[in-house]
Amino acid sequence: MEANGQVTTAGQLVKQRPRRQIRVKTWNRSTVVTRATLLILAGLTVYAFFSFDYKEIDFVQAMLATFANLKSMFLEPHLQRFTFGHALYQVLVTLGLAFLTTLFGAVIAVFFGLLAAENLSSKWVSSVVKGVVAFIRAVPTVLWVLIFAVAAGLGSVAAVIGMTFHSVSYLVKAYSESFEELDKGVIEALKASGAGWWQIIFQAVLPSSLTYMISWTFLRFEINFAVAVAMGAAAGAGGIGFDMFMASNFYLDIREIGAITYFILAVAILLEITAAKLKKRLT
Protein backbone atom coordinates (compact mmCIF):
# COMPACT_ATOMS: atom_id res chain seq x y z
CA MET A 1 0.00 0.00 0.00
CA GLU A 2 0.98 3.67 0.27
CA ALA A 3 4.33 4.37 1.86
CA ASN A 4 2.82 6.09 4.91
CA GLY A 5 0.45 3.21 5.43
CA GLN A 6 -2.63 5.39 5.02
CA VAL A 7 -5.85 3.68 4.07
CA THR A 8 -6.56 4.44 0.41
CA THR A 9 -9.82 3.87 -1.38
CA ALA A 10 -10.30 3.59 -5.11
CA GLY A 11 -12.43 6.75 -4.90
CA GLN A 12 -9.61 8.74 -3.34
CA LEU A 13 -7.20 7.59 -6.00
CA VAL A 14 -9.13 9.60 -8.59
CA LYS A 15 -8.96 12.86 -6.68
CA GLN A 16 -5.18 13.20 -7.03
CA ARG A 17 -4.24 16.14 -9.26
CA PRO A 18 -2.77 15.19 -12.62
CA ARG A 19 0.95 15.89 -12.84
CA ARG A 20 2.11 14.84 -16.27
CA GLN A 21 0.83 13.54 -19.58
CA ILE A 22 0.72 9.79 -19.61
CA ARG A 23 0.99 7.99 -22.88
CA VAL A 24 -1.01 4.83 -23.27
CA LYS A 25 0.02 3.50 -26.68
CA THR A 26 3.32 1.72 -26.91
CA TRP A 27 5.50 1.50 -29.99
CA ASN A 28 7.70 -1.44 -30.72
CA ARG A 29 8.91 -3.35 -33.77
CA SER A 30 5.83 -5.52 -33.83
CA THR A 31 3.31 -2.66 -33.88
CA VAL A 32 5.41 -0.72 -36.41
CA VAL A 33 5.58 -3.68 -38.79
CA THR A 34 1.87 -4.40 -38.31
CA ARG A 35 0.91 -0.85 -39.22
CA ALA A 36 3.41 -0.64 -42.06
CA THR A 37 2.01 -3.87 -43.53
CA LEU A 38 -1.56 -2.60 -43.34
CA LEU A 39 -0.62 0.76 -44.84
CA ILE A 40 1.36 -0.74 -47.71
CA LEU A 41 -1.44 -3.17 -48.53
CA ALA A 42 -4.00 -0.36 -48.46
CA GLY A 43 -1.79 1.83 -50.65
CA LEU A 44 -1.23 -0.94 -53.20
CA THR A 45 -4.96 -1.62 -53.28
CA VAL A 46 -5.81 1.99 -54.05
CA TYR A 47 -3.08 2.11 -56.69
CA ALA A 48 -4.38 -1.15 -58.18
CA PHE A 49 -7.86 0.28 -58.68
CA PHE A 50 -6.42 3.19 -60.64
CA SER A 51 -4.19 0.98 -62.74
CA PHE A 52 -6.78 -1.64 -63.75
CA ASP A 53 -7.42 -2.07 -67.42
CA TYR A 54 -11.18 -1.59 -67.36
CA LYS A 55 -11.53 -1.90 -71.13
CA GLU A 56 -14.39 0.60 -71.15
CA ILE A 57 -16.66 -1.61 -69.15
CA ASP A 58 -19.68 0.13 -67.72
CA PHE A 59 -19.17 -0.97 -64.17
CA VAL A 60 -22.73 -0.50 -62.95
CA GLN A 61 -24.15 -2.25 -65.95
CA ALA A 62 -21.72 -5.14 -65.61
CA MET A 63 -22.59 -5.49 -61.93
CA LEU A 64 -26.29 -5.53 -62.74
CA ALA A 65 -25.66 -8.06 -65.48
CA THR A 66 -23.72 -10.22 -63.01
CA PHE A 67 -26.57 -10.12 -60.54
CA ALA A 68 -29.02 -11.04 -63.27
CA ASN A 69 -26.70 -13.86 -64.32
CA LEU A 70 -26.30 -15.11 -60.77
CA LYS A 71 -30.07 -15.07 -60.40
CA SER A 72 -30.74 -17.16 -63.50
CA MET A 73 -27.76 -19.35 -62.64
CA PHE A 74 -28.90 -20.30 -59.18
CA LEU A 75 -32.67 -19.97 -59.50
CA GLU A 76 -33.22 -21.41 -62.98
CA PRO A 77 -30.53 -24.03 -63.45
CA HIS A 78 -30.97 -26.65 -66.13
CA LEU A 79 -29.05 -29.42 -67.84
CA GLN A 80 -29.47 -29.23 -71.59
CA ARG A 81 -26.53 -30.86 -73.28
CA PHE A 82 -26.18 -33.81 -70.92
CA THR A 83 -28.14 -35.82 -68.41
CA PHE A 84 -28.13 -35.88 -64.64
CA GLY A 85 -26.40 -39.26 -64.77
CA HIS A 86 -23.67 -37.92 -67.03
CA ALA A 87 -23.05 -35.00 -64.70
CA LEU A 88 -22.85 -37.35 -61.74
CA TYR A 89 -20.34 -39.51 -63.60
CA GLN A 90 -18.24 -36.46 -64.45
CA VAL A 91 -18.21 -35.47 -60.76
CA LEU A 92 -16.95 -39.00 -60.09
CA VAL A 93 -14.18 -38.50 -62.66
CA THR A 94 -13.14 -35.27 -60.93
CA LEU A 95 -13.19 -37.02 -57.56
CA GLY A 96 -11.09 -39.81 -59.11
CA LEU A 97 -8.48 -37.31 -60.32
CA ALA A 98 -8.40 -35.72 -56.87
CA PHE A 99 -8.08 -39.11 -55.21
CA LEU A 100 -5.21 -40.36 -57.37
CA THR A 101 -3.40 -37.05 -56.91
CA THR A 102 -3.81 -37.16 -53.16
CA LEU A 103 -2.73 -40.82 -52.96
CA PHE A 104 0.43 -40.34 -55.05
CA GLY A 105 1.15 -37.08 -53.27
CA ALA A 106 0.79 -38.65 -49.84
CA VAL A 107 3.03 -41.63 -50.60
CA ILE A 108 5.81 -39.45 -51.99
CA ALA A 109 5.34 -36.84 -49.27
CA VAL A 110 5.79 -39.33 -46.41
CA PHE A 111 9.25 -40.12 -47.69
CA PHE A 112 10.30 -36.53 -48.30
CA GLY A 113 8.55 -35.41 -45.12
CA LEU A 114 10.87 -37.69 -43.15
CA LEU A 115 13.87 -36.18 -44.93
CA ALA A 116 12.56 -32.67 -44.32
CA ALA A 117 12.02 -33.17 -40.58
CA GLU A 118 15.05 -31.71 -38.83
CA ASN A 119 14.93 -34.15 -35.94
CA LEU A 120 14.96 -37.20 -38.23
CA SER A 121 17.45 -36.19 -40.89
CA SER A 122 20.37 -33.81 -40.99
CA LYS A 123 19.97 -30.06 -41.05
CA TRP A 124 21.56 -29.93 -44.48
CA VAL A 125 19.24 -32.50 -46.09
CA SER A 126 16.27 -30.87 -44.42
CA SER A 127 16.97 -27.44 -45.82
CA VAL A 128 17.64 -28.79 -49.32
CA VAL A 129 14.30 -30.67 -49.32
CA LYS A 130 12.48 -27.66 -47.93
CA GLY A 131 14.02 -25.42 -50.57
CA VAL A 132 12.99 -27.71 -53.42
CA VAL A 133 9.51 -27.96 -51.98
CA ALA A 134 9.22 -24.16 -51.77
CA PHE A 135 10.21 -23.90 -55.43
CA ILE A 136 7.64 -26.51 -56.48
CA ARG A 137 4.96 -24.67 -54.54
CA ALA A 138 5.81 -21.38 -56.21
CA VAL A 139 4.91 -22.70 -59.68
CA PRO A 140 1.13 -22.55 -60.14
CA THR A 141 -0.47 -25.99 -60.51
CA VAL A 142 -1.89 -25.22 -63.92
CA LEU A 143 1.60 -24.56 -65.24
CA TRP A 144 2.85 -27.92 -63.91
CA VAL A 145 -0.04 -29.62 -65.69
CA LEU A 146 0.57 -27.79 -68.95
CA ILE A 147 4.30 -28.49 -68.83
CA PHE A 148 3.59 -32.20 -68.38
CA ALA A 149 0.97 -32.08 -71.08
CA VAL A 150 3.69 -31.37 -73.64
CA ALA A 151 5.32 -34.73 -72.92
CA ALA A 152 2.28 -36.80 -71.95
CA GLY A 153 -0.46 -35.09 -73.97
CA LEU A 154 -3.51 -33.41 -72.49
CA GLY A 155 -5.48 -35.79 -70.32
CA SER A 156 -5.69 -37.47 -66.97
CA VAL A 157 -2.02 -38.51 -66.85
CA ALA A 158 -0.69 -34.96 -67.25
CA ALA A 159 -3.35 -33.62 -64.89
CA VAL A 160 -2.67 -36.13 -62.11
CA ILE A 161 1.11 -35.82 -62.31
CA GLY A 162 1.01 -32.04 -62.56
CA MET A 163 -1.36 -31.77 -59.61
CA THR A 164 0.72 -34.27 -57.63
CA PHE A 165 3.60 -31.79 -57.54
CA HIS A 166 1.62 -29.35 -55.45
CA SER A 167 0.13 -32.05 -53.25
CA VAL A 168 3.64 -33.31 -52.50
CA SER A 169 4.95 -29.89 -51.56
CA TYR A 170 1.91 -29.12 -49.42
CA LEU A 171 1.98 -32.46 -47.62
CA VAL A 172 5.76 -32.50 -47.14
CA LYS A 173 5.41 -29.24 -45.24
CA ALA A 174 2.47 -30.51 -43.18
CA TYR A 175 3.96 -33.95 -42.46
CA SER A 176 7.44 -32.71 -41.59
CA GLU A 177 5.98 -30.20 -39.16
CA SER A 178 4.03 -32.91 -37.38
CA PHE A 179 7.14 -35.15 -37.34
CA GLU A 180 9.12 -32.32 -35.82
CA GLU A 181 6.60 -32.02 -33.00
CA LEU A 182 7.48 -35.52 -31.86
CA ASP A 183 8.99 -35.58 -28.40
CA LYS A 184 12.79 -35.70 -28.55
CA GLY A 185 12.82 -38.09 -25.60
CA VAL A 186 10.93 -40.77 -27.49
CA ILE A 187 13.49 -40.89 -30.28
CA GLU A 188 16.30 -40.82 -27.75
CA ALA A 189 14.76 -43.68 -25.78
CA LEU A 190 14.43 -45.85 -28.86
CA LYS A 191 17.94 -45.01 -30.03
CA ALA A 192 19.24 -45.94 -26.60
CA SER A 193 17.52 -49.31 -26.86
CA GLY A 194 19.44 -49.91 -30.09
CA ALA A 195 16.66 -49.33 -32.62
CA GLY A 196 17.65 -48.37 -36.16
CA TRP A 197 16.34 -45.41 -38.22
CA TRP A 198 13.60 -47.39 -39.99
CA GLN A 199 12.49 -49.01 -36.74
CA ILE A 200 12.19 -45.62 -35.08
CA ILE A 201 10.17 -44.35 -38.06
CA PHE A 202 7.71 -47.25 -38.06
CA GLN A 203 7.40 -47.79 -34.31
CA ALA A 204 7.41 -44.22 -33.02
CA VAL A 205 7.25 -41.49 -35.64
CA LEU A 206 4.48 -42.69 -37.95
CA PRO A 207 2.14 -44.05 -35.25
CA SER A 208 2.29 -40.86 -33.21
CA SER A 209 1.83 -38.57 -36.22
CA LEU A 210 -0.81 -40.70 -37.91
CA THR A 211 -3.87 -38.74 -36.83
CA TYR A 212 -2.34 -35.44 -37.95
CA MET A 213 -1.31 -36.98 -41.24
CA ILE A 214 -4.79 -38.33 -41.92
CA SER A 215 -6.48 -35.01 -41.24
CA TRP A 216 -3.94 -33.08 -43.35
CA THR A 217 -4.26 -35.61 -46.17
CA PHE A 218 -8.03 -35.35 -46.19
CA LEU A 219 -7.79 -31.58 -46.18
CA ARG A 220 -5.55 -31.85 -49.23
CA PHE A 221 -8.10 -34.16 -50.87
CA GLU A 222 -10.68 -31.44 -50.32
CA ILE A 223 -8.36 -28.90 -51.97
CA ASN A 224 -7.51 -31.31 -54.78
CA PHE A 225 -11.18 -31.65 -55.67
CA ALA A 226 -11.34 -27.90 -56.30
CA VAL A 227 -8.02 -28.03 -58.16
CA ALA A 228 -9.26 -30.93 -60.31
CA VAL A 229 -12.34 -28.91 -61.28
CA ALA A 230 -10.08 -26.03 -62.30
CA MET A 231 -7.71 -28.30 -64.23
CA GLY A 232 -10.64 -29.84 -66.07
CA ALA A 233 -11.47 -26.35 -67.22
CA ALA A 234 -8.02 -24.95 -67.87
CA ALA A 235 -5.99 -27.97 -68.93
CA GLY A 236 -8.43 -30.39 -70.51
CA ALA A 237 -8.18 -32.90 -67.69
CA GLY A 238 -11.79 -33.99 -68.09
CA GLY A 239 -14.45 -34.30 -65.41
CA ILE A 240 -17.07 -31.80 -64.37
CA GLY A 241 -14.65 -28.87 -64.75
CA PHE A 242 -14.39 -29.50 -68.48
CA ASP A 243 -18.18 -29.45 -68.85
CA MET A 244 -18.25 -26.17 -67.00
CA PHE A 245 -15.61 -24.74 -69.31
CA MET A 246 -17.61 -25.81 -72.36
CA ALA A 247 -20.83 -24.36 -70.95
CA SER A 248 -19.06 -21.10 -70.21
CA ASN A 249 -16.78 -20.59 -73.22
CA PHE A 250 -18.58 -22.39 -76.05
CA TYR A 251 -22.30 -22.69 -75.33
CA LEU A 252 -22.51 -19.52 -73.21
CA ASP A 253 -25.24 -21.22 -71.20
CA ILE A 254 -25.41 -19.56 -67.78
CA ARG A 255 -28.15 -21.89 -66.55
CA GLU A 256 -26.13 -24.98 -67.28
CA ILE A 257 -23.24 -23.40 -65.39
CA GLY A 258 -25.69 -22.97 -62.53
CA ALA A 259 -26.57 -26.66 -62.52
CA ILE A 260 -22.90 -27.66 -62.66
CA THR A 261 -22.08 -25.21 -59.87
CA TYR A 262 -24.72 -26.88 -57.71
CA PHE A 263 -23.04 -30.25 -58.29
CA ILE A 264 -19.62 -28.89 -57.37
CA LEU A 265 -20.97 -27.02 -54.36
CA ALA A 266 -22.75 -30.12 -53.06
CA VAL A 267 -19.62 -32.27 -53.26
CA ALA A 268 -17.38 -29.54 -51.83
CA ILE A 269 -19.64 -28.92 -48.84
CA LEU A 270 -19.98 -32.66 -48.27
CA LEU A 271 -16.19 -32.98 -48.23
CA GLU A 272 -15.86 -30.01 -45.88
CA ILE A 273 -18.34 -31.50 -43.42
CA THR A 274 -16.59 -34.88 -43.61
CA ALA A 275 -13.22 -33.21 -42.99
CA ALA A 276 -14.57 -31.34 -39.98
CA LYS A 277 -16.09 -34.54 -38.55
CA LEU A 278 -12.88 -36.45 -39.19
CA LYS A 279 -10.84 -33.76 -37.47
CA LYS A 280 -13.14 -33.81 -34.46
CA ARG A 281 -12.95 -37.58 -34.17
CA LEU A 282 -9.19 -37.72 -34.52
CA THR A 283 -8.24 -35.00 -32.06
Interaction residues for other proteins, span 58-97 (CB under 8 A): 59, 62-63, 65-66, 69-70, 73, 89, 92-93, 95-97
Binding string, residues 27-46; x marks residues near other proteins by CB under 8 A: --xx--xx--xx--xx-xx-
User: Cα separation of 188 and 182, whole Å?
Assistant: 11
**Closer CB to other proteins, 31 or 122, in the complex:** 31
**Closer CB to other proteins, 189 or 265, in the complex:** 265
Say whether residue 211 binds other proteins (CB under 8 A).
Answer: no
DSSP string, the chain: --TT-----HHHHHHSPP-S--------HHHHHHHHHHHHHHHHHHHHHHH---TT--HHHHHHHHHHHHHHHHHS----SS-HHHHHHHHHHHHHHHHHHHHHHHHHHHHHHHHH-TTTS-HHHHHHHHHHHHHHHHS-HHHHHHHHHHHH-TTHHHHHHHHHHHHHHHHHHHHHHHHHTS-HHHHHHHHHTT--HHHHIIIIIHHHHHHHHHHHHHHHHHHHHHHHHHHHHHS---SHHHHHHHHHHTS--HHHHHHHHHHHHHHHHHHHHHHHHHHHHH-
Give least dist CB 188 to other proteins, A: 26
Say whether residue 251 binds other proteins (CB under 8 A).
Answer: no
**Closer CB to other proteins, 6 or 184, in the complex:** 6
**Closer CB to other proteins, 191 or 277, in the complex:** 277
Binding range to other proteins, per CB under 8 A, among 112-120, 158-166, 173-181, 189-197: 158-166
Restricting to residues 159-188, name those near other proteins by CB under 8 A. 160-161
> Which one among 4, 83, 193, 249 touches other proteins, defined by CB under 8 A?
249
Give least dist CB 117 to other proteins, A: 19
**Closer CB to other proteins, 26 or 193, in the complex:** 26
> Which one among 4, 52, 193, 196 touches other proteins, defined by CB under 8 A?
52
User: Cα separation of 92 and 159, whole Å?
Assistant: 15
Restricting to residues 115-154, name those near other proteins by CB under 8 A. 134-135, 137-143, 146-148, 150-152
> Which one among 125, 128, 157, 186 touches other proteins, defined by CB under 8 A?
157
